[in-house]
Amino acid sequence: MYRLWRWIGVFLGSLGILVSGVLGPGWVAGHPAAQRPEPAAAEPLPILRLGEGIYAVKGPGDDMNTGVVVGDDGVFVFGCNLRNYEQRLAAIRTVTDKPIRWAANGHMAFDDSGCNWELRRLGAALIGSSRMREHYLEWAPPRLALELTRPEGQRVWQGRGLAPPEITFDDRLVLHLGEGREAHLLYAGHGHTIGDALVYLPEQRVLFTADLLFVRVHPTVRDGDSVNWQRILERLMTWEIAWIVPGHGDIVQGKTELQTLWTYWETMRARVQALMRQGKSIAEIQAEIELGEYASWARPETVPETVEKLYHELLEAGA
């Protein structure tokens, strides 16, 4: 395993990619401990005010959304895609010039954690669940190596690198950001991924879900557990919620979309199971499954992977 990490470190270094906090002190280049200037202003993404000091940066199309809390002494950011980092930062700068002091991840994927390196360069402390950090350390180096085989990945990651959370929590961490802005970071369990975390601001009833909620976007579950994901959604539906910032899709009011996603899993599982009982193979089910009311949802290309995951979950459950 050490040789694998060492090879990845040398490979990334040869491409100008900096790896911080992953391979150990001997394999860290350009540690971003000192605060750096912000990049030149870019065209900002849309930003929506959800409450006093609470905002959502809407990702383009079905891209990742970013939750933002402007505290008394600085800014907290939840989830950020590196591919449009400058535009997200520009959106934040339309509402505050306070420093970004905290950045947290809902899960390990780069559309959520990709900005970690840049945000840490700005002086932000990086936060995530303990399970998310473990998953990141396992998943991120080979994934970055794959990204660097592609021209777009080389463009996005040139001069940047990996940065896992440096502050972790097993169950809960509370950031006291100011009156009405107490941010509860909560480990939700194994839903979309093993490290899923969310942020709840109870005084203003705002929830940042990361990829535990997709709004009218086909969800991905390759690293997850669809049954436990439903249990998480059931718990969230008991909370008082005025606004939700989902991982993907529109920022929404109320809890209706939590129920919609719960029903999606129930419906898709039933459709896969019905075809399994007809003796259909995975490939046949992937070709024949009816999307019905979900046909208009974004990212239909993810459905075959979801079908395969549901198929194996049903087999393991003896259904």
Beta bridge mates, 245:
208
Inform me whether the pLDDT recorded for 5 exceeds 90.
Answer: no
Instruction: Note the pLDDT tens digit of each residue in 89-99.
Output: 999 999 999 99
Q: Cα separations (Å) of 199 from 83, 171, 184, 195? A: 23, 12, 5, 13
Amino acid at 206: V
Contact 158, 199 (CB under 8 A): no
Contact 180, 53 (CB under 8 A): yes
pLDDT confidence of residue 172: 98
| Domain chopping of the chain, boundaries | 32-256, 265-316
What's the topology of domain 32-256?
Metallo-beta-lactamase; Chain A (3.60.15)
Of the listed ranges 61-65, 152-156, 193-197, 315-319, the least confidently predicted one is 315-319
Beta bridge mates, 200:
184, 207
Contact 289, 267 (CB under 8 A): no
Inform me whether the pLDDT recorded for 32 exceeds 50.
Answer: no
pLDDT confidence of residue 319: 73
Q: Which helix (H) or strand (E) holds 51?
A: strand 47-51
Per-residue buried b or exposed e for 214-238, using 16+ beta carbons within 10 Å of the residue's own CB: bbbbbbbbebbbbbebbebbeebee
Inform me whether the pLDDT recorded for 316 exceeds 70.
Answer: yes
Amino acid at 173: L
Distance CA 160, CA 39 (A): 13
Amino acid at 49: R
Contact 58, 47 (CB under 8 A): yes
Distance CA 190, CA 184 (A): 18
Q: Which two tokens stand for residue 307?
A: 């079908």
Residue 279 burial by CB count (10 A; 0-12/13-18/19+): exposed, middle or buried? Answer: exposed
